[in-house]
Amino acid sequence: MYKLKKQKLIWLFGLISALTLTNIPALADIAVIANPGIAITKASNNDIKALFLGKIKSLAGYPVTPIEQKSGTTRSSFNNKVLGKSNSRLKAYWTKLLFSGKGVPPRVFPDDAAVKAHVAATPDAIGYIDSSSVDSSVKVILTVK
C-alpha cells in the first residue's frame, strides 16, 4: 500500500511540474532595433518611451519612425517594461490622442520577422523584437531585460 501511494504522489508531482512549466512564457530580452545605416548607436529607455508614445520624433538629432508589433508576448513585455502601460491602457492612450488630433500611433507589423525586415529596409525605422531574432540586418540600440 505504501508503494502505491508513493507512485501516485510521484505521478501527481510530475503532472503538476509539467503543467506548470508549459504555462511559463519565455522571458527573453527585448531588442530595440534600428536600421544599420542610422548614426544612432544607443538610446535610453526614456528616449524610446518618449518616441513610442509620440512625444518626440527624433533620437540624437536624427528623425526616426517607430513601428510596433500587432500582439503577443514581445509587445506586452515592451509595453509594460518600456512604456509602463498595459496593452489596454496603451490603446486608450492612443485613442485619446488620435481623436484629439494630437498624435497617430506607430505603424503595426504582425511579428518579429516583419518588424526586422521593415527596419532593415527603412533608414529611419525603429522597432522592437525578441532578442533571439536579432541578426546582422539590424542594429540593436537598446536591450530591455
Segment 11-29, tens digit of pLDDT? 545 545 544 444 344 558 9
- What was the pLDDT predicted at 96? 96
Looking at domain 27-144, its CATH architecture is 3-Layer(aba) Sandwich (3.40)
The residues spanned by each domain of the chain are 27-144
CA dist., res. 42 & res. 59, Å (int): 9
Given a cut of 60, whether residue 1 has pLDDT beyond it is no
- What was the pLDDT predicted at 82? 97
Segment 98-137, tens digit of pLDDT? 999 999 999 999 999 999 999 999 999 999 999 999 999 9
- What was the pLDDT predicted at 15? 45
Instruction: Write out the E strands in 7-106.
Output: 30-34, 58-59, 62-63, 65-69
> How does the average pLDDT of the chain come out, rounded?
88
- What was the pLDDT predicted at 126? 97
The reported pTM is 0.80
Can you tell me whether residue 51 is helix, strand or coil? helix
Given a cut of 50, whether residue 61 has pLDDT beyond it is yes
